[in-house]
Amino acid sequence: MACLDTSVYTDSVVDHATWAAQRLGAPLQFLHVLDRQPQVAQMADYSGNIGVHAQTELLSELVELDEKRSKLAAQQGRQLLAHARGRATAAGVVEHDAVQRHGAFVETITEDEDDVRLFVLGKRGEHADFDKGHLGANLERAVRSVHRPLLVASRAFRPIQRFAIAFDGSPTTRKCVEMVVKSPLLQGLHCDLLSAGNATFELREAQNWAKRQLEQAGFEFDARIIAGDPEAVIGEHVANQGVDLLVMGAYGHSRIRQLIVGSTTTAMIRGCQVPVLLLR
């Protein structure tokens, strides 16, 4: 399910979702959610200034304006979905459809979650503050709410040939490795198994376990333990080693967990210039 809005990430979300659908052999659905229009606010009592009749006329005009805005938003959404479907068709995806709904975004996607194999969202939405580097509010809420894998699209799509797994030996990151080796999404791509911190006996043993899983599944991979803060280590590795996709656990019990869950969503998603695949 590719979740679309009118941000500059639209084409990237379509392209990442198209890539994923082709890799998974899964049907693709585009979703655009129209926020519920707020009720027209009660007019303050200015009858002494503008008169009751003028106040009633103004309220009527506001209601009419609100209806026009709703119709225009719906029309814009239909055009957006048609554009996405055309782009997917041009990329060779045959099985796809599009849905436009009214409601709250997160509630809408969680209602459909049981039928979704992978969600694809842009890093920032149409209302995000690009100058301050803020992530979209819908993305932050979605990360905390959905239980399916979630692919966070970067600003522009580029061919994905190499991916990195942020691995700390925790049950969450072990589950990431298990999900990666069982899915066709990343089969045939080069993997960097990346751990940040001290090379303790426990971490080396955990990496050995992960290497066995990757090897048995036929992956080509490099495994590294790099001393330092996870955010800095992972960010520098992704930027300097030609990594096209970062795989992380959405929740865990380690320092990596702090990158995902907190007062803001992950600094890693905000800082990396590549798509991030979040796994539960």
pLDDT digits (tens, 9 = 90+) for 66-123: 788 888 888 999 999 999 999 999 999 999 999 999 999 999 999 989 999 999 999 8
Arch. (CATH architecture) of 2-37+72-145? 3-Layer(aba) Sandwich (3.40)
Report percent pLDDT > 70 for the chain. Answer: 82
Cα radius of gyration (the chain): 22
The CATH code of the domain at 160-279 is 3.40.50.620
* Mean pLDDT value of segment 204-210: 97
Give the whole-angstrom CA distance, residue 191 versus residue 23.
Answer: 16
Residue 136 pLDDT exceeds 50: yes
Q: Other C-beta atoms within 10 Å of 141: how many?
A: 17
Give the whole-angstrom CA distance, residue 124 versus residue 260.
Answer: 16
Q: Which residues of the chain are in CATH 3.40.50.620 domains? A: 2-37+72-145, 160-279
Instruction: Indicate the pTM of the whole model.
Output: 0.83
Residue 132 is predicted with a pLDDT of 44
Token pair belonging to 47: 């009858």
Residue 264 is predicted with a pLDDT of 30
Residue 200 is predicted with a pLDDT of 94
Q: What is the pLDDT of residues 2-52, one digit of tens each?
A: 999 988 899 999 999 999 999 999 999 999 999 765 444 444 454 555 566
Closest CA to 148 of 27, 244, 247, 250: 250
Q: What is the pLDDT of residues 140-174, one digit of tens each?
A: 788 888 889 999 999 999 999 999 999 999 888 99
Residue 266 is predicted with a pLDDT of 57
Give the whole-angstrom CA distance, residue 109 versus residue 116.
Answer: 9
Residue 143 is predicted with a pLDDT of 82
User: Please, what is the angle between helix 171-182 and helix 201-216, to 10°?
Assistant: 10
**Arithmetic mean of pLDDT over the chain:** 84
